[in-house]
A and B are shown apart, each in its own frame.
Chain A
Amino acid sequence: MSYINPKLDLVRRSATSDAEPALTAENQVAKLIDISKCIGCKACQVACMEWNELRQEPEEVVGVYDNPADLNPNTWTLMRFTEYENPQDDRLEWLIRKDGCMHCTDPGCLKACPAPGAIVQYSNGIVDFNSDACIGCGYCVKGCPFNIPRISQADNKAYKCTLCSDRVAEGMGPACAKACPTKAISFGSKTDMIALANERVEDLKERGYAKAGLYDPPGVNGTHVMYVLHHADKPSLYAGLPDAPRISPIVETWKGVTKYAGMLAISAAAVVGLGHYFMAGPNEVSDHDEDEARKLKEGRDV
């Protein structure tokens, strides 16, 4: 099991232009969340709070099972409950999705981050936030295609699931996977998790879920948190899981062409100015100009 001996070498680092070694397939880890096995007990939520020492103030009940109502700086994973009336057999399906960071292979948060080293990607695929370097600008929130990072009002830093990178570094699985009573959450090498998912998808298909499948979206080059969905053709049924997530083209434009064209335009303006000064020379007032002005003034003053 390759994840037992993970390497915490960085393969990506925010706001850093140096070349980075590529992710290697061998040591990549993944968490597989099998939604068809989830009973919505929230043990994963509790385990996450426990391990990461997070305590969210209790909120008002808003009339649904989701509690708290949304992810926040102290809630890095959240069960989202959807009541879906399947039009095919007129049955009510309770779709429960454990929401949290997907640990994209192509992470939008990292691409958007301006602070060197505040967001890193380890060679095992985990995307992690470094609070020491984080400046709380909220760019990661704009970069993320899954609406995951949250900025804390207390310390102005961004927070999200770390995939328990500290536990994984010691050869353990994430706290949520350990706490899950139905084994809906599995953790291992990405290859193993895909194999496991394929077995589950087969099983679901045999049981009548013809559209069952694995959610490992190619728009972000795959993720290191994957779902087994009974309705893989309609991910958005599951509390708005993006059907085809990718880094927003606006973010790509901002962090791509704008950055380079902008630097070029500013440098060019300075160079053109300097060049003009040397070519045309200073624009100076002549004695003749001063004389004319004095004549004008005296003429009127009289």
Chain B
Amino acid sequence: MSEKTYVKRYSALARANHWVTAISLVLLALSGMALFHPSLYFLTGLFGGGANVREFHPWIGLVLAISFLGLFVRFWKLNLWERNDNVWLARLRSVLAGREEDLPEMGKYNAGQKMVFWLMSILIIALFFSGVVLWDAKHEWMATTLGLTFTIEQSRIAVLVHAIAAVIAIVVWIVHVYAAIWVKGTLSAMVKGEVTGGWGWRHHRRWLREEVGKTAKGNPPAE
């Protein structure tokens, strides 16, 4: 057995930010799906009934929007698209087969992770704004303090946009969670904040080289 080395990947704050987002997203998905299809209405039981779902869902959405904004500010630069990402995408077959020796060396994030990041960003913007239109309980407040009013036709569009965006977001979420389960050693990045050197070497070699370079110069590791 070779001795393992460890590399820091996420600071405690970044992890907390991620998990607040994650928990709100799961609660939103459960409460949202409860009202999406009658066969899932039983999920309202998790929240103490349909009226509670209706009351809690938008507030949780607000938490998610603010929390995700934190993640966005933290990570958007690292998710900018690069030429190598096209190569990675073109060799998706190798990606899915786990043949990473066929792929270019990746930075902190590969093309798949970047796509999850940008899709979620767009979807959460769509979900937030359509959600505001659907938050009937706060319409009076919105009208008096913000001067915002909505027509029934606008709320029909909002409810359709909200449903479609939510479905796509849940699919993207499944991809995100599946990737973390499939690629062994990934979860510890978000749980303990560090990964093994081997994990970095295998999946994000350019990032590992950069991190090792930084520590050598005595700089603190990036979050």
- Interface residue ranges, A against B (CB under 8 Å): 15-17, 114-116, 133, 135-139, 141-142, 147, 151, 153, 156, 248, 250-251, 253-254, 258-259, 261-263, 265-266, 269-270, 273, 276-277, 280-287, 289-294, 296-297, 300-301
B5 touches which of A17, A133, A273, A290 (Cβ 8 Å):
A290
B160 within 8 A of A: yes
How many Å from the CB of B38 to the closest CB on chain A? 4
Given the contacts A147-B152, A282-B184, A16 and B38 also touching, CB distance less than 8 Å? yes
How many Å from the CB of A133 to the closest CB on chain B? 8
- Sample of 7 more A-B contacts, CB < 8 Å, known A115-B35, A250-B156, A297-B197: A138-B136, A141-B152, A265-B168, A269-B174, A276-B96, A291-B2, A293-B201
How many Å from the CB of B164 to the closest CB on chain A? 6
How many Å from the CB of B144 to the closest CB on chain A? 13
Instruction: Say whether B197 contacts A290, CB under 8 Å.
Output: yes
How many Å from the CB of A284 to the closest CB on chain B? 5
Give bound CA distance, A300 to B197, whole Å.
14
How many Å from the CB of A212 to the closest CB on chain B? 30
Given the contacts A142-B159, A300-B216, A293 and B175 also touching, CB distance less than 8 Å? no
Instruction: Say whether A135 contacts B50, CB under 8 Å.
Output: yes
A262 touches which of B2, B136, B167 (Cβ 8 Å):
B167
How many Å from the CB of B96 to the closest CB on chain A? 6
Binary A-proximity of B38-51 (CB < 8 A = 1, otherwise 0) = 11010010000111
Instruction: Say whether A258 contacts B167, CB under 8 Å.
Output: yes
Please, which residues of chain B bring their CB within 8 A of the CB of A282?
182, 184
Give bound CA distance, A291 to B36, whole Å.
50
B208 touches which of A136, A253, A296 (Cβ 8 Å):
A296
Beta-carbon nearest neighbor of A18 in chain B: B38
Please, which residues of chain A bring their CB within 8 A of the CB of B51?
135-136, 156
Please, which residues of chain A bring their CB within 8 A of the CB of B175?
269, 273
Where chain A touches its partner, the secondary structure class is helix
Given the contacts A115-B50, A273-B178, A284-B184, A289 and B201 also touching, CB distance less than 8 Å? yes
Give bound CA distance, A93 to B143, whole Å.
35
Beta-carbon nearest neighbor of B177 in chain A: A273
Instruction: Say whether B196 contacts A293, CB under 8 Å.
Output: yes
Give bound CA distance, A253 to B167, whole Å.
14
Please, which residues of chain B bring their CB within 8 A of the CB of A250?
153, 156-157, 159-160
Please, which residues of chain A bring their CB within 8 A of the CB of B164?
258, 262
Given the contacts A151-B136, A285-B196, A300 and B35 also touching, CB distance less than 8 Å? no
Please, which residues of chain A bring their CB within 8 A of the CB of B181?
277
A290 touches which of B2, B41, B182 (Cβ 8 Å):
B2
Please, which residues of chain B bring their CB within 8 A of the CB of A259?
36-37, 163
Instruction: Say whether A293 contacts B197, CB under 8 Å.
Output: yes
How many Å from the CB of B151 to the closest CB on chain A? 10
Instruction: Say whether A137 contacts B35, CB under 8 Å.
Output: yes
Beta-carbon nearest neighbor of A115 in chain B: B50
How many Å from the CB of B74 to the closest CB on chain A? 25
Instruction: Say whether B1 contacts A156, CB under 8 Å.
Output: no
B170 within 8 A of A: yes
Chain B positions 167-223 with a Cβ under 8 Å from a chain A Cβ? 167-168, 170-171, 174-175, 178, 181-185, 196-202, 208-209, 212-213, 215-216
Give bound CA distance, A223 to B34, whole Å.
31
Question: Could you write out 14 A-B pairs with CB less than 8 Å apart?
Answer: A17-B38, A136-B136, A151-B136, A156-B55, A254-B163, A273-B178, A276-B96, A276-B182, A280-B97, A284-B185, A285-B201, A290-B3, A294-B197, A297-B5
Instruction: Say whether B155 contacts A285, CB under 8 Å.
Output: no
Chain B positions 46-63 with a Cβ under 8 Å from a chain A Cβ? 49-51, 53-55
Instruction: Say whether B54 contacts A153, CB under 8 Å.
Output: no
Give bound CA distance, A291 to B96, whole Å.
24
Please, which residues of chain B bring their CB within 8 A of the CB of A253?
160
Beta-carbon nearest neighbor of B164 in chain A: A258
Beta-carbon nearest neighbor of B168 in chain A: A265
Beta-carbon nearest neighbor of B50 in chain A: A135
Instruction: Say whether A266 contacts B97, CB under 8 Å.
Output: no
B156 touches which of A16, A151, A251, A265 (Cβ 8 Å):
A251
How many Å from the CB of B186 to the closest CB on chain A? 9
